[in-house]
Amino acid sequence: MLEQLERASLRPCELIRAFIKLYKHDRRATFPIPLRTRLAMWRRGFVSECHLIYGFDRNPMEHYLPEYHRLVRASRINRKPEVLHNKLLFEAHFKALLPIPRTLAWISRGAIAPLVEDPRIDSPATLLAACRAQGRLAIKPFGESGGKGFHVLAWEKDRLLLNGTPLTEEALVSLVSDARDLMITEFVRQGEYAARVFPHATNTMRVLAMRDPYRNRRAFVAIAVHRFGTARCAPADSFQRGGLAAEVDLATGVLGKATTYPREGKLRWFSHHPETGAPIEGLRVPGWQNIVEHLLAATEAYDFLDYVGWDVVAREDGFSVLEANNHSGMIFLQVFRGLLADERVRAFFEYHGVIRRRRS
């Protein structure tokens, strides 16, 4: 059972935190799961909803990386995970290698600290002026993921909007005064191909890169998934908050059918976006090979990184990288296929002690 609780756990605090996260995740399941199924999943390190999402009634469980192994063991792969956790450190390390939106200012306890001189944002008035000049700015919490706390501040038709809703200048002052550890960044424009699918969210890709320990640590892409927002999760595109996800063919950049979190207890598949009617299946990511080449080069740039989940916005004229993840979420990736069925991926996780090595 979980390697006898990590051999009685050499890191008890880490073990406890992981079980708390798994328990909280499990409680968010919106469909009934029999207790027997829950217990069987927990014993193997999965959250119980994985039984449905991964289709364990027909797919081998050993092909899928469990959530416990992701949270505890995969989080130890990179020697300096703080470079990916800390958004400002991430920008500093990778801005010369990848097109990354600039962080313009930091908001906390009612104060705005400017991080660049142009535009210089040091008050609600200068924040408003910068928004009017640039059209849109992104506001995101420093430590959250999954689209939590992400907002779009926009100036359209001579009025200020927050996530598409009118915002008064007084309300902007209140937002600043109540904020704690928020970042103001440049807003990343997405490609027309993605905006046609769903225009009310920034539709991103998660590209999971690994460095092969048996091939001179050359990086490769294990899987890539394109996410699209819906009315439920806009302006973010979070899968578990109602967004759609479609696997990207690694050779061609063409998307397959999309699915979303099974709130009613059944996975549904969509060739078109269910709200806009725009086609998803067969859509091609522009400049896919160029994106992959840059991400693999960036993955290999620092010796202390072996495992990176890149969040990318593609456009017809280029791409932007929003952030990178130290131990990427797995459920919205493995809903398409078990990653451990790929021998190269399995060997990577075995080498780093995430899963047990198979006997010869």
Q: CA 89 to CA 97: how far, in whole Å?
A: 14
pLDDT for residue 15:
66
205 C-beta neighbours (distance < 10 Å), count: 26
Residue 251: count of CB within 10 angstroms of its CB: 8
pTM over 0.95: no
Residues of each domain in the chain carrying CATH 3.30.470.20: 82-99+192-351
Q: What pLDDT shows up at residue 5?
A: 43
pLDDT of residue 203: 97
In order, the DSSP letters of 168-195 are -HHHHHHHHHH--SEEEEEPPPPPHHHH
Cβ pair 201, 163 in contact under 8 A = no
Residue of higher predicted confidence among 134 and 22 = 134
Is the preceding peptide bond at 101 cis, omega within 30 degrees of 0?
no
Residue among 73, 23, 64 nearest 44 (CA): 64
275, two tokens? 């709200």
pLDDT score at 42: 87
Q: What is the mean pLDDT of the chain?
A: 91
Q: What is the pLDDT of residues 174-223, one digit of tens each?
A: 989 888 889 999 999 999 999 999 999 999 999 999 999 999 999 999 99
Pure H helices in the chain: 2-9, 12-27, 35-43, 50-53, 67-68, 82-85, 87-94, 124-134, 169-178, 192-197, 288-299, 331-334, 343-351
pLDDT in tens, 115-155: 999 999 999 999 999 999 999 999 998 865 555 678 999 99
Backbone angles phi and psi of 137, in degrees to 5: -135, 155
CATH superfamily of 82-99+192-351: ATP-grasp fold, B domain (3.30.470.20)
pLDDT of residue 194: 98
**How does pLDDT run across 250-292, given as a tens digit for each residue?**
999 999 999 999 988 899 999 999 999 999 999 999 999 999 9
Distance CA 2, CA 15 (A): 11
Contacts of 56 (CB under 8 A, 6+ apart): 50
φ, ψ of residue 21 in degrees (nearest 5): -65, -45
Report pLDDT for 7: 46
Contact by Cβ (8 Å): 241, 146: yes
Contact 315, 190 (CB under 8 A): yes
pLDDT tens sequence across 32-60: 778 888 888 888 889 889 999 999 999 99
